[in-house]
Structure 1
Amino acid sequence: MIKLIASDMDGTLLDAEMRISQENIEAIQYAQSHGIEFMVATGRNRSEALPALEEAGIDCAMITLNGAQVFDQEGNVVFSAPIDLETTQTILDILDEHQIYYEVSTNKGTYSESKEQRIENFAAHIAETMPHLTHKMAIAMTVARLEFLPIHFVDSIHELIVQDEITILKIICFHKEGAVYLGPAAKKINAYDELFVTSSGENNIEINHRAAQKGIAVSHVALNRNIDMKEVMTIGDNLNDVSMIQAAGVSFAMGNALSELKEYAKYVTEPNVQSGVGKAIRRAIDEEL
């Protein structure tokens, strides 16, 4: 019997409007009524993840920043896997060399050096997932969406990260040309054994400490709850979900997931815009998967 469900957010739990559908909300409540704990496992930081959850009335533990931080239901940090300062400086030098835009997530929030580049790169990401949109429509949708994703803009991230109170947890990089620019940089960064490079879209890469993976974080939570991984269900859509899809006894790929993730998952559900998470939860419970 399933005792713990961990779901990705973007492209999974959230619909095209970055909200949690009523069908998904009711399925989560259905799981909770069966004594099953629900939590999210997202690439977002906690402050970025909270608005959609609070709007839906969902109060849960969170795996954030791909597993770099785990929070209990009250918002206390119970696990953290940061990137050290020297390694971070090396990563940023590589990204600067390849002219790649990046944002750095820390214990004090997420930081960027350019609001304009942030909008451009997120618009490219939206256009990738919704190709029917014009560039102008993608920009407008991006501006509306980014209001829900808190970020701090600074003149120099290099100067920010040397401050004593700053702990670096994740670096996310974007380029509208995708792998053409990101690939060579990722290859250099991958040479560092302590780092783990993944992606949540064709035009980005996400860099974490090797211990910061969703699968590791879900296993940590399950161990803390005295739950066997065979009793854990995970749901995702992209490459940063692979580790938790592989680790769980019951795993679902979204209908809109990458084909590679579908190969790892035991089951496939409907796309995120059709409340695939809710359908997967009800199927898993009703069919006793």
Structure 2
Amino acid sequence: MIKLIASDMDGTLLGNKMEVLQENIDAIKFAEQHGIKFMVATGRGYTEAKPALDEAGITCPMITVNGAQAFDEQGQELFTINIDKKHAQTLLDLLKLNNVYFEIATDQGVYSDNPHKRIENAAQMLAGKLPHLTFKMAIAMASAHLELLDVNYVDHYQELIDRTDIAILKFIVFEEQGPTILDPLREKVEKVPEVVVTSSFPNNIEINHVNAQKGVAVQRFAESLNIPMSEVMTIGDNFNDVSMLEMADVSFAMGNAEDGVKQIARYETANHDVGGVGKAILRAIKENL
């Protein structure tokens, strides 16, 4: 029987309004009543992930920034895996040269050098998930959502590279044209030592240290509790979830997951906007997966 559940957030635990659906909350509580520990494993930073969990009344361990950091239930840092500043400089120069918009996740929050572009990218993501929205409506929703997040702004990213008191955890690249621009860029990025490239939706790529992957982090956390991966359940929807879906014996892809992700997971559940996580949890307990 499973003893630990690790769930992605965006496109998985969260609904269309970036909230945890009540069905998911109820299932998480039901699992905890059965002695099963729940945690999130997200590409978001800690301060980006926490508001939605707080609103849902969920207090749990968190793997953040794709596995670059982990925190216990009290928010105490368990570990951090950062990108070496030399390689971070190489990535910064490469992304600037290719004229793409990107953000940098650090151990002191997420940074952007263009607030207008940040809102525009969030709106494009929402518009893609909610086709009935006009882009103007998506802009308004994105602005309201981003106001809740702890985002920092700098004039130049070089400031972050030069600071000795800050660790670089992830580069997140956004591109409206998607694979047309991102695929050749990805090939260049993958030549930089000690990094891994994943994606959380079609119009982005995410760059972490090679050891900062969700699967590695989930396994590390499970081992700290003496839980084997045969008793771990993971749930996700996109390619930054693949490492944890591959490593857990019980893995669920969301109904809205990318096709390649569905091929990797052992099971499939409903979409994120109809409580797919809750349905997967209840099935796993009922069927003793």
1:242 aligns with 2:258: no
1:78-120: per-residue Cα shift (whole Å, max 9, x none)? Answer: 1221001111111011111111111111111111101011111
1:182-230: per-residue Cα shift (whole Å, max 9, x none)? Answer: 2222111101241000001111110000000000000101111100100
Structure 1 residues without counterparts, runs of 5 or longer: none
Using the alignment, how far apart are the partners of 2:157 and 2:75 within structure 1?
26
Partner residue of 2:132? Answer: 132
The TM-score with structure 1 as length reference comes to 0.98
Partner residue of 1:210? Answer: 210
- Following superposition, the deviation at residue 245 of structure 1 comes to 0.4
The residue correspondences of 1:37-56 to structure 2 (distance < 5 A) are 37-56=37-56
1:234-289: per-residue Cα shift (whole Å, max 9, x none)? Answer: 00000000000000010000011111110001111010100000000000001101
CA contact (8 A) 2:90 2:192 kept: no
The SS at the match of 1:234 is: strand
1:171 aligns with 2:171: yes
CA contact (8 A) 1:111 1:154 kept: yes
Partner residue of 2:155? Answer: 155
Q: Which amino acid aligns with 2:219?
A: S
Q: Which moved more, 1:71-80 or 1:250-259?
A: 71-80
Using the alignment, how far apart are the partners of 2:38 and 2:227 within structure 1?
13
Partner residue of 1:19? Answer: 19
Partner residue of 2:263? Answer: 263
Q: Which amino acid aligns with 2:31?
A: A
CA contact (8 A) 2:6 2:40 kept: yes
Partner residue of 1:81? Answer: 81
Using the alignment, how far apart are the partners of 2:213 and 2:19 within structure 1?
24
Q: Which amino acid aligns with 2:3?
A: K
CA contact (8 A) 1:27 1:282 kept: yes
Q: Which moved more, 1:69-78 or 1:129-138?
A: 129-138
Q: Which amino acid aligns with 2:103?
A: E
How many residues align? The count is: 289
Partner residue of 2:117? Answer: 117
RMSD: 0.9
Question: Following TM superposition, where does structure 1 have runs of at least 4 consecutive aligned residues deviating by more than 6 angstroms?
Answer: none
CA contact (8 A) 1:229 1:249 kept: yes
Q: Which amino acid aligns with 1:233?
A: M
The SS at the match of 2:30 is: helix
Q: Which amino acid aligns with 1:74?
A: Q
The SS at the match of 1:172 is: strand
- Following superposition, the deviation at residue 181 of structure 1 comes to 1.9
CA contact (8 A) 2:234 2:248 kept: yes
Q: Which amino acid aligns with 1:266?
A: R
Identity, in percent, stands at: 55
Using the alignment, how far apart are the partners of 2:169 and 2:160 within structure 1?
14
CA contact (8 A) 1:13 1:277 kept: yes
Using the alignment, how far apart are the partners of 1:253 and 1:27 within structure 2?
17
